[in-house]
Amino acid sequence: MALYRVLAPLKTVEELDEMLQDVDHNAQALGMSDFADGHVDPPGMFADEVLLLEAWSAGQRLQAELEEMQACPGCQIPAYDWNGVCAVHG
């Protein structure tokens, strides 16, 4: 976010949008990785950055859901054996 703020006056709106998307995706990926590694607290450097905290938390939720679905017997049934929709996860 610091780099974004420094470069903001020098970039176009499109470039700034792309930078924010990159920041968001990276924070979400870190949240997923942290969840998989058992880390439940966000990085300290995210403390005052709402965008980063929200993206990191979204990554945590996504990874939790992915792990739940990987362990779900209903999600593991091959699509050709049923209608393709898990009764629990849809």
**pTM (global) more than 0.75:** yes
Number of structural domains the chain divides into: 1
pLDDT per position in the chain (90 positions), as tens? 766 677 778 778 888 889 889 999 999 999 999 999 999 999 999 999 999 999 999 999 999 999 998 898 888 777 656 666 777 877
CA distance 90 to 88: 6
> Is there a domain that residue 58 lies in?
yes
What is the structure's pLDDT at 39? Answer: 96
Residue 52 · residue 46 · CB < 8 Å = yes
Q: How far is CA 47 from CA 11, 82, 84, in A?
A: 26, 46, 41
> Is there a domain that residue 13 lies in?
no
> Is there a domain that residue 30 lies in?
yes
